[in-house]
Amino acid sequence: MSALRGAWVLAAQCPSRLGTVDVVTRFLKEQSCYITELHSFDDYRGGQFFIRAAFRPEVADFEESTFREQLAARAVEFGMTFELMAPETRLPVVIMVSKADHCLNDLLYRYRTGQLAIDVRAIISNHPDLEPLASWHGLPYHHLPITSETKPQQEAAVKRVVDESGAELVILARYMQVLSAALCHEFAGRAINIHHSLLPGFKGARPYHQAYEKGVKLVGATAHYINDDLDEGPIIAQGVEAVDHAHYPEDLVAKGRDIECLTLARAVRYHQEKRVFLHAGRTVVLAG
């Protein structure tokens, strides 16, 4: 977070055309804003341009509303849409979890120490097991058990908690339930899931034991936005590490947990820092 401390962030996209970099950088210069970080990407296949700039106003009377209005007027010619994030913004989130605590524990540590600029509003679980961890952090814990018969009511309660908390991102930190298509659409672009990257080869229970039996040489994790195709949403971040014959199933499980924690935290940070753009069912991640 140190690179963004004190900086505003502008993230924009528009159809590919001449002058797309200039419209952003020239505007920032005219507004006396010093660019501290700049990344862009032109998708020549999709005909779409993406740009992200972190900047620091060099004037004392910088006004966000005026900045937005003037940039919006300039952006019309390019069909450009943009988001603007103020310095030190903390993204309101709700975390969903089942029984495994490694990803939740890691996120809460990064939240508590300021490594992730998030504001955890609530934790939702279909089990009561992790309530003591939430209580230790002073966070509301909603135990919402679920069965096939009660799934509609449970998901309605999930949505109610998210809506009432004002969360802008839902983090599925090893929440071991398949969300309905309706809830996936409701949370589209604002819910991140994490799973081991042994899929689709080793589905179901004990995937690391299955991988061990096959002599797998790589294990990893994938963090992605959810959609109604199970574990196949637009990918934000992935992590991988080499393993060998000396790694027994329990070693693979332990390594997998570590990678899941790091990969999920990275994906949440990318989202919070507005480095992720969704376009045509995939992501553009301007991570630097």
Enzyme catalytic residues:
231
Question: Do 164 and 121 contact (CB within 8 A), yes or no?
Answer: no
Question: Do 145 and 126 contact (CB within 8 A), yes or no?
Answer: yes
Q: State the Cα–Cα distance between residues 75 and 183, nearest whole angstrom.
A: 33
Question: Do 44 and 121 contact (CB within 8 A), yes or no?
Answer: no
Neighbours of 10 (CB within 10 A): 23
Question: Do 192 and 269 contact (CB within 8 A), yes or no?
Answer: no
Q: State the Cα–Cα distance between residues 227 and 254, nearest whole angstrom.
A: 28
Q: State the Cα–Cα distance between residues 224 and 227, nearest whole angstrom.
A: 9
